Structure 1
C-alpha cells in the first residue's frame, strides 16, 4: 500500500519565526510531539518536544525564542507514492514516530505516524518500526556511556 493511502493530510505547520511557546501550544492542541516547519511552500525543518526541552529549556532560552533557533534542519521524510513496507524500515532506522510526507515536487502533503501504519498495515508493521526505534535508542544510549 502506498503512503498516500495511510497518511494524515490534516497537518499543522509551524513557521520558523513562531515562538517556541506558540509551537508548544500547537503540540498540546494536536496531542503530538513534533510539528513540521515550513517557509513559503517548502518544508525547512521539524520541531519536536525534545528539541524544545534539550535545545531551549535546558539552555535557559526564553519561550519567545524563534523555532528556527532550535528546530532540526536535517529533515527525514518519505514520498506519498512510496510503499509503506519500505517506509517502515526507514522509520525504525531514523528513530521517528512521525514522518513528513512530500510529493515529488518536495511539497509537504501529509504526515505518516506509527498509528497510521498500525491502522492500515496492522500491528506487525507498526511493531517492526517500533522495534527499530527501540533498538536504535538502546544503541544510542550505550554509545553515550
Structure 2
C-alpha cells in the first residue's frame, strides 16, 4: 500500500509531467538577429527497464538538429513518426546504460541513425545530431 506522502509525490510528478507536455515547446532564441531561433525541444516520458514497482521512468527532452534548412521542414512534417521512433529506441535501452555518459552517447548515435533511416536520409541531408537538453530518472 502506498503512503499518503508517496501518493502525493506521484500525483505531483504526474501533474507536472502533464502540464509540461501540454505547453507549447519553447524555442531557443539566437543572439539578436531577426528570425534567429533553433529547433524546438521535444519532451518525452518513457518507461525504461521493468515496469511497475522498481521500474524507472525517464523524463527526456531532446533537440533534433537538421543538417540543412530544408531538413527542418522534413523533421516537422514527420514529427509524429520521429517521436514514435524515439520512444521505441529509448524504451529498448537499459536504465543502467542510460545512467552512463557512454550509454547516453550511444543513445544519441542510435537515434540519429534510426531517425535518418525512417526519413530515408543521412547525417548530411536529414538529422545531423541529437542533443539532450534534459535527462531525469524517476524510480517507481
Bigger radius of gyration among the two: 2
TM-score (ref. length: structure 1):
0.27
The answer to which structure has the higher strand fraction is: 2
